[in-house]
Amino acid sequence: MRAVSLDAFHDEFPTGCDGVLFAHFLEIWSPERVQELLAKAARALPAGGAVYVVTPRQDDDGTGPERAALLSAYFHTIASGEGMVYTGAEYEEWFRAVGIEPAGRVPLGADTVVITGRKA
């Protein structure tokens, strides 16, 4: 395993990796930026490569938990002015749009989830 330093918004992700991990990062940004980053991950991965998104949990119907609303207000006003806590369904839709097949959701405690996918 190795980690690579880069500017996620200006550099392409390196090829030759088995997976890309976004840990508490994507929710800071707009849906357009999230999709751009997922597309970069898809381009870097071989067939079967994995994407892991560790993020605060938001119910698919947008009704909770309460922490998602609190964090969304923070991301949208203070952190970046554009982000929010997105639903698992939104991530899965964005995965499909860039050629990543959703593979599941794994809860981490009460309010965090890992959303996984594999490049087709």
pLDDT digits (tens, 9 = 90+) for 64-90: 899 999 999 999 899 999 999 999 999
- Rounded-to-integer distance, Cα 15 and Cα 92, Å: 23
Q: Is 44 part of a structural domain of the chain?
A: yes
Counting the structural domains of the chain, the total is 1
pLDDT score at 110: 87
Q: Is 26 part of a structural domain of the chain?
A: yes
| 3-class secondary structure per residue, 51-91 | EEEEEECCCCCCCCCHHHHHHHHHHHHHHCCCCCCCCHHHH
pLDDT score at 16: 87
Q: Is 21 part of a structural domain of the chain?
A: yes
- Rounded-to-integer distance, Cα 85 and Cα 26, Å: 9
Q: pLDDT tens for residues 35-60?
A: 999 999 999 999 999 999 999 999 99
Q: Is 23 part of a structural domain of the chain?
A: yes
Q: Is 73 part of a structural domain of the chain?
A: no
Residue type, 108: L
- Rounded-to-integer distance, Cα 103 and Cα 105, Å: 7
Q: Is 111 part of a structural domain of the chain?
A: yes
Q: pLDDT tens for residues 107-116?
A: 998 899 999 9
Residue ranges making up the domain that contains 116: 17-50+100-120
Asked whether the predicted pLDDT for residue 5 surpasses 90, the reply is no
Which pLDDT band, with edges at 50, 70 and 90, does 4 fall under? confident
